[in-house]
Amino acid sequence: MHDRTIAELAQALARGEVSSVELTRAALDRIEARDSRYNAFITVTPDQAMSQAEAADAARAAGQAGPLAGVPFVHKDIFCTDGVRTSCGSRMLDTFVSPYDATVVRNMRAAGLVMLGKTNMDEFAMGSSNETSYYGPVKNPWDTARVPGGSSGGSAAAVAARLAPGATGTDTGGSIRQPAALCGITGLKPTYGRVSRYGMVAFASSLDQGGPMARTAEDCALLLGAMAGFDPNDSTSIDRPVDDYAAALEGTTIRGLRVGLPKEYFGEGMAPGVRAAVEAAAEVLRDQGAEVVEVSLPHSGLSVPVYYVVAPAEASSNLSRFDGVRYGHRCEQPQDIIDLYERSRAEGFGTEVKRRIMVGTYALSAGYYDAYYLKAQQIRQLISDDFRKAFEEVDVILGPTSPTTAFPIGERADDPVSMYLSDVYTIAANLAGLPALSMPAGFADGLPVGVQLVGDYFDEGRLLGVAHRYQQATDHHRQAPPGAVD
Amino acid sequence: MQWETVIGLEIHAQLATNSKIFSGASTQFGSEPNTQACPVDLGLPGVLPVLNEGAVEMAVRFGLGIDADIAGRSVFARKNYFYPDLPKGYQISQYEIPVVGTGRLEIALDDGTTKTVGITRAHLEEDAGKSLHEDFHGMTGIDLNRAGTPLLEIVSEPDLRSAREAVAYAKKIRTLVRYLGICDGNMQEGSLRVDVNVSIRPEGSHAFGTRTEIKNVNSFRFLEKAIHFEVERQREVLEDGGEVVQETRLYDPGADETRAMRTKEEANDYRYFPDPDLLPLEVDAAFIEHVRATLPELPDEKRDRFTEEYGLPAYDANVLTAARELADYYEQVVAAAGGEPKLAANWVMSELGGVLNAQGLEITGSPVSAEALGGLIRRISDETISGKIAKQVFEGMVNGEGDADAIIEARGLKQITDSGEIQKMIDEIVDANPEQVEQYRAGKDKVIGWFVGQVMKASGGKANPEQVNGLLRHKLDG
């Protein structure tokens, strides 16, 4: 059962071939037996999972179950879960048990999905390798000496290792897509405002977006349908009906699809195996009748610097609430309030989080605001304009997800700039607020390579549909890491 | 050297919404600590603000009340600083683009003239919680009930030139926000909080002197005293050849002095930036017109109507319109009395005002209803009782003895208007006092007053004084 997709499991449940209790028990046993290899989980919640599974089975027996009822999955440990620790990968929140559910958590529970536990992640979602987690690095199921990518590395590894058929992730600069690419799975960052941010611990509010991670585009479509929707508790959520993504899969045809390849992405920095995978993916789409053309995103090269002003600036403010006063880590024996702040934060945050708080604080400081934050926002607008012009000519943009395949644990840990460049192709979609998907597109030296599709606003249905057609024509997404299917 | 004082006020008015500015928690005052703080107010991880439309409407009401420009698009920003009662580590406020732009307010000065004070802006923001230092044995308690209460910060131009003007302005703001129904104006409970910017400059100079900001001024009396102290302090500094340091000072009512809190150099860099959790606030013309249609008669309009409709002097009209409830009461008195607006004004301001003052009551808690007071005035105007007797009746009304007619009846206070009866008393008194009669007839006209007094005394105050006067003159002159 662990090699089945969400769509297959939903069908099996609907046909009565298996119960949710059986699926859930098996999944929990598998996590118990295997997660020590990957460290994908921060918290496993067997009791809640079993009671949710029982409830799903009861609902199904009563004829009141939705299509996903009883399917197990995992949440990234950035989503607040009532009564369950929500650590965000940080010592700061190691003891924090949320008293409320995130909207995404509520939505997925309402769909009857069964949460197995909460996955490891870079601390406060700041990282591209999952090495900044307080709970230790996650290991890539394809090669446990390598990183799974980040920050949603635990979710990606859990799905790749067949510990869960699907997961939630969050993506601020590539945190769903890059680990999806490095672990050989499919992940979608929706349009900004499509999925509620309420209850998702904030990193950079104007960029953060939750989304699905699974093995196939079809599964991502099913999960997104359960996650997405307007939320009155999130002022940046958009009041617009959720598309029928499952229907969009079948409704999409590649014939006549205009696919753009941004010429700026094919310069230096991209590994040869990655380039080959992108070109091969373009060829697959062309074979199905797509028209593949070159497009230009002239301000692409500014994405990383703009991002590393905007994201840390917002983070420096968002993380101010972690002050040791009301919840979270508090130092021993504070002498006064300043001592309490300084030591609680010094002890509670890791190095990368501190680095970004300092960078962001600097960027917002009097005398620097105009030169950094304001300027970055202006360039951000130019980056959005690039995409707007490109989408006048093409329907989707195809490119690499990450410049390289999974790199060895420790390789870039002391070199923040090379780490930051891991997200060079993914960041622009966050800055523009556009939906973007990463899908498996082959292998280089035995490691998965992902390619990215970027769509116009609210065009998730088309992205999923194109990926679905691609996956019908290829089998990269069916490959399992060594030892994962046995 | 002659110095001129320059004052600008920043007034924080807590808006009278039922729920907080960015959450659904209640704003009620005085509850058990931390019982009115929801996850959003506590700044839990992952929570997000959602703007309370009621607070926006109140801000727009205020803007219309000061004839200000309402911004079609304003922006919420984060003001970042660490403080234990500031849960998120930042306050959501408006910085570069406030919802209410430039406006103006007219105040009445002591000399009877009026002055227009400029209002730079008014913006929406959230209140912080409270730090509690008592009962915690050297530690500090945090109460977040107040966190997230909507505030309107009203910033005046440096147009005020004395402590008296500053007080008049602050009082006028309180009058206005109460009229508009957007703030209860209670300074003790902190619903209205005043920060004062004070500087002085040589008379005739146009450049501003260095200012200090005084915080923690929680009554009009303290406002006046704090300014007096600060002006005097700055004058001494300057006249001793020193320089005023730009700083924030705290007013200590116990010692009646201001003390330095922090200097400009120590001030926080608040790192303002637009709050990415909130979209820009858009207020369209239709909304503004909708709000305008619900505005009550404003204090200045009411004052002008009182002078016109009731023929009241400007002073009376100002006093009676200082609070909407007082003005309403007054109008009910006039209606119940069937006229006599000036007499009604006198009674409301002096007799009733005295009682309310002595008992520490607001007009809404008046022991005498407007209908009852109107009934009393009706009895004065129809000459059932004299003004003097009316004061006795009023005392009875205050003590709960019933309405005017019942008291007049019970105490037998009905005015004597039977001229035969009065004539009899006059005859007796004139006969008994030949010496005074002589004086009167010798031209000492004032003696008439003495005779009136004697007759009134003999009647137990019940004779109609005007009637007594006429009959006396007739008798003495005749």
Our answer to whether residue A151 is catalytic in this structure is yes
A398: which strand partners? A453
Q: How far apart are alpha carbons B413 and B376 in whole angstroms?
A: 12
- Residue where one domain finishes, among candidates B256, B291, B326: B291
Contact B56, B182 (CB under 8 A): no
Residue B224 C-alpha from the chain's centroid:
15
User: Which architecture does CATH list for A6-259+393-478?
Assistant: Alpha-Beta Complex (3.90)
B89 and chain A: CB distance < 8 Å anywhere?
yes
Across the interface, do B43 and A337 touch by the CB < 8 Å criterion? no
Omega before A20 cis (within 30°)? no
Structure tokens at A265: 């992405």
Write out chain A's pLDDT in tens, 486 residues: 889 999 999 999 999 999 999 999 999 999 999 999 999 999 999 999 999 999 999 999 999 999 999 999 999 999 999 999 999 999 999 999 999 999 999 999 999 999 999 999 999 999 999 999 999 999 999 999 999 999 999 999 999 999 999 999 999 999 999 999 999 999 999 999 999 999 999 999 999 999 999 999 999 999 999 999 999 999 999 999 999 999 999 999 999 999 999 999 988 788 999 999 999 999 999 999 999 999 999 999 999 999 999 999 999 999 999 999 999 999 999 999 999 999 999 999 999 999 999 999 999 999 899 999 999 999 999 999 999 999 999 999 999 999 999 999 999 888 888 888 889 999 999 999 999 999 999 999 999 999 999 999 999 999 999 999 999 999 999 999 998 887
Contact B82, A323 (CB under 8 A): yes
A313 CA: distance to closest CA in chain B (Å): 9
Write out chain B's pLDDT in tens, 478 residues: 899 999 999 999 999 999 999 999 999 888 899 999 999 999 999 999 999 999 999 999 999 999 999 999 999 999 999 999 999 999 999 999 999 999 999 999 988 889 999 999 999 999 999 998 888 888 889 999 999 999 999 999 999 999 999 999 999 999 999 999 999 999 988 999 999 999 999 999 999 999 999 997 999 999 999 999 999 999 999 999 999 999 999 999 999 999 998 777 777 899 999 999 999 999 999 999 999 999 999 999 999 999 999 999 999 999 999 999 999 999 999 999 998 999 999 999 999 999 999 999 999 999 999 999 999 999 999 888 888 889 999 999 999 989 999 898 888 788 777 888 888 888 889 888 888 888 888 888 888 889 888 888 888 888 888 888 888 888 888 7
Minimum-distance CB partner of B269 among A234, A321, A366: A366
Q: How far apart are alpha carbons A463 and A438 in whole angstroms?
A: 10
Q: How far apart are alpha carbons A201 and A88 in whole angstroms?
A: 7
Residue B47 shares a structural domain with residue B126: yes
Residue B94 shares a structural domain with residue B116: yes
Across the interface, do B271 and A323 touch by the CB < 8 Å criterion? no
B23 CA: distance to closest CA in chain A (Å): 9
Across the interface, do B44 and A86 touch by the CB < 8 Å criterion? no
pLDDT of residue A262: 96
Phi, psi of B394 (to 5 degrees): -60, -40
Residue B373 shares a structural domain with residue B353: yes
Across the interface, do B276 and A233 touch by the CB < 8 Å criterion? no
Contact A68, A75 (CB under 8 A): no
Considering just the CA atoms, what is the radius of gyration of chain A in Å?
21
Structure tokens at B10: 């920043």
pLDDT of residue B267: 74
ipTM above 0.85, yes or no: yes
C-alpha distances (whole Å) from A308 to each of A315, A416, A421, B420 are: 11, 11, 11, 103
Q: Name the interface residues of A facing B (CB cutoff 8 Å).
A: 79-80, 86, 88, 93, 96, 98-100, 102, 197-202, 204-206, 232-236, 313-314, 316-317, 319-323, 325-327, 337, 341, 361, 364-366, 369, 373
Residue contacts between A and B (CB atoms, under 8 Å): 100
- Split into its structural domains, chain B has a count of 3
Q: How far apart are alpha carbons A468 and A215 in whole angstroms?
A: 11
Residue B424 shares a structural domain with residue B384: no
Phi, psi of B425 (to 5 degrees): -65, -40
pLDDT of residue B441: 87
Q: Among residues A175, A196, A303, A344, which one is catalytic? A: A175
Residue B48 shares a structural domain with residue B145: yes
Angle at B477 between CA B471 and CA B478, to 5 degrees: 85
Phi, psi of B99 (to 5 degrees): -70, -35
Q: How far apart are alpha carbons A176 and B291 in whole angstroms?
A: 46
Contact residues on chain B for A364, CB-CB shorter than 8 A: 80, 271-273
B369 CA: distance to closest CA in chain A (Å): 47
Angle at A56 between CA A51 and CA A59, to 5 degrees: 125
Residue B232 shares a structural domain with residue B302: no
Residue B441 shares a structural domain with residue B362: no
* b/e burial code for range B369-399 (CB count within 10 A of at least 16 → b): ebebbbbbbbbbeeebbbeebbebbbebbbe
Contact residues on chain B for A327, CB-CB shorter than 8 A: 44
Phi, psi of B81 (to 5 degrees): -165, 155
Give which of A166, A206, A205, A202 is closest to A187, Cα–Cα: A166
Chain A residue with minimum CA distance to B88: A321
The 3-state DSSP class for residue A90 equals coil
- Helix (H), strand (E) counts: chain B: 17, 15
B132 and chain A: CB distance < 8 Å anywhere?
no
Across the interface, do B45 and A98 touch by the CB < 8 Å criterion? yes
Across the interface, do B269 and A93 touch by the CB < 8 Å criterion? no
C-alpha distances (whole Å) from B402 to each of B344, B393, B396, B398, B411 are: 19, 9, 7, 9, 12
Minimum-distance CB partner of B48 among A198, A319, A321: A198
Contact A5, A12 (CB under 8 A): no
Neighbours of B460 (CB within 10 A): 11
Q: How far apart are alpha carbons A78 and A210 in whole angstroms?
A: 10
A448 CA: distance to closest CA in chain B (Å): 33
Structural domain for B427, as ranges: 419-477
Minimum-distance CB partner of A313 among B45, B47, B273: B273
Across the interface, do A233 and B50 touch by the CB < 8 Å criterion? yes
pTM of the complete model: 0.91
First to last CA, chain B: 68
Residue B241 shares a structural domain with residue B364: no
Q: Among residues A87, A98, A133, A151, which one is catalytic? A: A151
Our answer to whether residue A389 is catalytic in this structure is no
Neighbours of B427 (CB within 10 A): 12
- Residue where one domain finishes, among candidates B364, B381, B411: B411
The 3-state DSSP class for residue A407 equals coil
Sign of CA dihedral B131, B133, B136, B139: positive
B250 and chain A: CB distance < 8 Å anywhere?
no
Phi, psi of A357 (to 5 degrees): -60, -40
A19 CA: distance to closest CA in chain B (Å): 34
Residue that the structure tokens 């006028």 belong to: B172
Across the interface, do A198 and B84 touch by the CB < 8 Å criterion? no
Tell me the H-state helices in A176-302. 177-183, 217-227, 245-251, 272-287
Contact residues on chain B for A93, CB-CB shorter than 8 A: 45
Residue B406 shares a structural domain with residue B424: no
Q: How far apart are alpha carbons A371 and A423 in whole angstroms?
A: 24
Residue B279 shares a structural domain with residue B317: no
Contact residues on chain A for B84, CB-CB shorter than 8 A: 323, 325, 337
Residue B64 shares a structural domain with residue B107: yes
Across the interface, do A369 and B271 touch by the CB < 8 Å criterion? yes
Minimum-distance CB partner of B84 among A205, A206, A337: A337
Q: How far apart are alpha carbons A404 and A79 in whole angstroms?
A: 29
Across the interface, do B142 and A326 touch by the CB < 8 Å criterion? yes
Residue that the structure tokens 């082959």 belong to: A442
Contact residues on chain B for A323, CB-CB shorter than 8 A: 82, 84, 89
Neighbours of A417 (CB within 10 A): 9
Residue that the structure tokens 């909407």 belong to: B324
Q: What are the extents of the domains in chain A?
A: 6-259+393-478, 303-376
Q: A347 burial class (0-12, 13-18, 19+ CB within 10 angstroms)?
A: middle
Contact A115, A22 (CB under 8 A): no
A120 CA: distance to closest CA in chain B (Å): 17
Across the interface, do A323 and B48 touch by the CB < 8 Å criterion? no
Residue B136 shares a structural domain with residue B174: yes
CATH number, domain of B431, equals: 1.10.10.410
